[in-house]
Amino acid sequence: MASHGIRDRVAIVGMGCTKFGERWDKSTDDLLVDSTQEALQSANLDVKEIDAFWLGTMGSGLSGLTLSRPLKLDYRPVSRNENFCATGSDAFRNACYAVASGAYDVAMAVGVEKLKDTPYSGLAVAGAANDGTQPALSAPAMFSLLVPAYQKKYGVTEEQMREVLTRIAWKNHANGARNPRAQFRAAVPKETIDCSPPIAGPLGVFDCSGVSDGSAAAIIVRAEDAHRYTDNPLYVKALAFVAGPGGGTLGQDYDFTTFHEVVRSAEDAYQQAGVTDPRGQIAMAEVHDCFTPTELVLMEDLGFAERGTAWKEVLAGTYDLEGDLPVNPDGGLKSFGHPIGASGLRMLFECWLQLRGQAEDRQIKTSKTLGMTHNLGGLPGECVSFVSLVGTEPSA
């Protein structure tokens, strides 16, 4: 398989991100206008100067018209992407390729989702009619299966696991409490997380991400043009995307302690960017903490911990805001909720702030220059996974 990547060929020169939450005051159109206007202002650009657009949304509108109408675009190309929870990230990925190809000078990637104010207020979608032949394994139930599997494989007790999952939720809410754009802005005591109302298996309410509305946008140009728009661009180092074959429980090799898709996409991203020691080289990572055990497993799949050791690293504070490798410094899906199309670009927005020293009272202190965004869409055993790496320094 060839995956050459486009390391340092394009750069991000402007970004915007709305406040996430139950935005009863804002329509999908309003959210799109707000995020794109902020991105344009940060790059000193007018919308007329954007050559092409990629819009990521799972359920908040079909076709490019969803973006061209509210922005009153002057007959510009707009693609509308969907790729489960990696929807916004896939819009970004395609916009980057369009610029790298030379087809356009300036492209915009936008993600949006309006989960409130719709008849179906949540993440689940009404897909093909269910005739009752499949039991109701909801998303939290499916991801809850990671917990006993991890415990059994690595000899972790139920009490230890509860402490680990609580620590992840506690960390992400503590980070989100420092973020004015987050849906939930309160630090949550560990005792509250420990005994939150049950949702599925060992997971309580505080082990699950919320449901919210939001939008985020990024402007991409050729790397050599970046300094025309900003003094401190972010260079795109790697864009990796994998859709798994969906083997799930058909085979004997899947044991619910890993996501094969994440491992493969991370390997591709590290190879594209020339990263050999992710734990040591990456300054911060925004990962897909849809449920607390997901974040635990991701630490191993992304190479941030040896197999079977991430639970100890979590307890040691490795991934805290002040730790060796801060994970979800903006508060993650735990604090932002998960407006599907917007989440990937929301993660990128935190890289934009952190790596450029603009994250204010949650600013990480580091001399490293690389940031990661990661999304996982689907279920353990059959999912898509996206990994990007961005950085402040072009390669020598």
Partner 1 sequence: MTSAPVEDGLFTWPSESPQLIGSKCGDCGVTTFPRQAGCPRCTSEAMSEILLPRRGTLWTFTTQEFLPKNPPYAGTETAEQFQPFALGYVELPGEVKVETRLTESDPAKLSIGMEMELVIVPFRRTPDGDDVLTFAFEPAS
Q: Catalytic amino acids?
A: 85, 338
Among the listed ranges 193-201, 321-329, 337-345, 385-393, the one in contact with partner 1 (CB under 8 A) is 193-201
Instruction: Name the minimum Å distance from CB 211 to partner 1.
Output: 12
Residue 59: both structure tokens together: 């359920």
- 253 CB-near residues (< 8 Å, 6+ apart): 247
Q: What is the closest distance, in whole angstroms, from the C-beta atom of residue 134 to partner 1 in the complex?
A: 7
Nearer to partner 1, 235 or 256 (CB): 256
State in angstroms the smallest separation of the CB of 184 from partner 1: 19
Site for partner 1 in 266-295 (CB under 8 A): none
- Which residues does 260 contact at the CB level (< 8 Å), separation at least 6? 244, 254
Asked if 246 touches partner 1 (CB under 8 A), the answer is yes
| Least distance between partner 1 and beta carbon 4 (Å) | 29
Sign of CA dihedral 270, 294, 121, 173: negative
Burial of 187 (0-12, 13-18, 19+ CB in 10 A): middle
Length of the chain: 396
Phi/psi for 34 (5° steps) reads -65, -50
Torsion sign across C-alpha atoms 114, 116, 122, 128: negative
Residue 247 binding partner 1, by CB under 8 A? yes
Q: How far is the CB of 60 from partner 1 (least distance, A)?
A: 18
Q: Three-state SS for 328?
A: coil
CA 383 – CA 391 distance, rounded (Å):
27
Three-state helix/strand/coil letters over 52-70: EEEEECCCCCCCCHHHHHH
**What Rg do the C-alpha atoms of the chain give, in angstroms?**
20
Binding part of the chain for partner 1, among 42-50, 59-67, 93-101, 244-252 by CB under 8 A, reads 244-252
199 counts as binding partner 1 under rule CB under 8 A: yes
Using CB under 8 A, which residues numbered 121 to 150 contact partner 1?
122, 124, 126-127, 129-138, 141, 144-145, 148-149
Task: Tell me whether residue 102 or residue 127 sits nearer to partner 1 (CB atom).
Answer: 127
Nearer to partner 1, 138 or 232 (CB): 138
Of 251, 277, 322, 365, the one binding partner 1 by CB under 8 A:
251
Q: Is the CB of 1 or the CB of 129 nearer to partner 1?
A: 129
Contact string 373-392 vs partner 1 (x = CB under 8 A): --------------------
When binding is defined by CB under 8 A, the residue of 250, 274, 306, 307 that contacts partner 1 is 250
By the rule CB under 8 A, 200 interacts with partner 1: yes
Which residue type does 272 have? Q
Q: How far is the CB of 135 from partner 1 (least distance, A)?
A: 5
Q: 386: part of which helix (H) or strand (E)?
A: strand 382-391
Query: How many of the chain's residues bind partner 1 (CB under 8 A)?
Result: 32
In the complex, the smallest distance separating the C-beta of residue 203 from partner 1, rounded to whole angstroms, is: 8
Instruction: Specify which residues 370 forms β-bridges with.
Output: 282, 391
Q: What share of the chain is helix, strand, coil (3-state, %, to 5)?
A: 40, 20, 40
CB environment 372-388: b (16+ within 10 A), e (fewer): bbbbbbbbbbbbbbbbb
CB closer to partner 1, 201 vs 308: 201
CB of 205 to partner 1, least distance (A): 10
Among residues 158 and 360, whose Cβ is nearest to partner 1? 158
The piece of 92-100, 197-205, 232-240, 358-366 that touches partner 1 (CB under 8 A) is 197-205
Considering only residues 44, 62, 63, 120, which one is a binding residue for partner 1 as defined by CB under 8 A? 120
Task: Output the DSSP codes for 240-288.
Answer: EEEE----GGGSSS--SS--HHHHHHHHHHHHHHT-S-HHHHEEEEE--
- CB-based burial of residue 77 (10 Å sphere; 0-12 exposed, 13-18 middle, 19+ buried)? middle
Nearer to partner 1, 256 or 270 (CB): 256
Six-digit token pair at 66?
């969803």
Which range in 82-90, 194-202, 266-274, 337-345 contacts partner 1 by CB under 8 A?
A: 194-202
Binding site for partner 1 (CB under 8 A): 120, 122, 124, 126-127, 129-138, 141, 144-145, 148-149, 152, 197-201, 246-247, 249-251, 256
